[in-house]
Amino acid sequence: MQNLILDIVCLAGRAVRRSIKNIVPSGYRVSVRKPIILWEAAAGDQRPYFCLLIYRRSDPFAVTLLVPDHTTNKVTEVVFDRGLAIEGLDQPAGVGAVRIEPHLLDPLYSTYTLPLTPGGTEFFAERAPLEDFVLDTCALVPSGTERPQVTAALDRWLAGVAR
């Protein structure tokens, strides 16, 4: 498949131009997965956390972040609203357990506060992987079209139960 240039309108109505190789039509994709490296703010860049962002068409409002625990070798699953990820690229977002915002000193980074410890743990990460992830999720399920998809899925489920 040849390279294509797409305009994807997602982030607060602004168009973003991207060159994409081997596009899979969104009708065939059911999820978006993006590796992301988080660094614990208290430890500087000494302890990278190799994490995974996951977005599923079947749950269009939610983003799942899988975070490994260095001490127990377990993985913590943090679920938050996709709107928080979109908004957190440009301004502080989130008033609950999860918070995402632009880094105070470096615009190429974002800051994440995650509920891994009481009071939360602060991490920082490069902004580009989150931005790419958000754009890919918006290509799969455009922002603002989540509710009809959830309603349709519920209708299909209810029809199956009623049989």
> Each residue of 36-74: pLDDT tens digit?
999 998 887 688 999 999 999 989 999 999 999 888 889
Helix (H, G, I), strand (E, B) or coil at 92: coil
Across the range 135-149, mean pLDDT stands at 83
Question: Could you give the CA distance from residue 62 to residue 67 in angstroms, rounded to a whole number?
Answer: 16
Domains, the chain, ranges and CATH? 27-143 (2.30.31.20)
Query: Strands 4-9 and 99-102, how do they pair?
Result: unpaired
pTM of the predicted structure, to 2 decimals: 0.73
- Tell me the C-alpha distance between 119 and 18, whole Å: 38
Euclidean distance between CA atoms 9 and 4, whole angstroms: 16
d(CA 25, CA 29): 7
Query: 73 by DSSP, 3-state: which?
Result: coil
Q: What count of other Cβ atoms lies within 10 Å of the Cβ of residue 105?
A: 8
- Tens digits of residue pLDDT in 75-109: 999 999 999 999 999 999 998 889 999 999 999 99
- What pairs with residue 110 in β-bridges? 102, 125
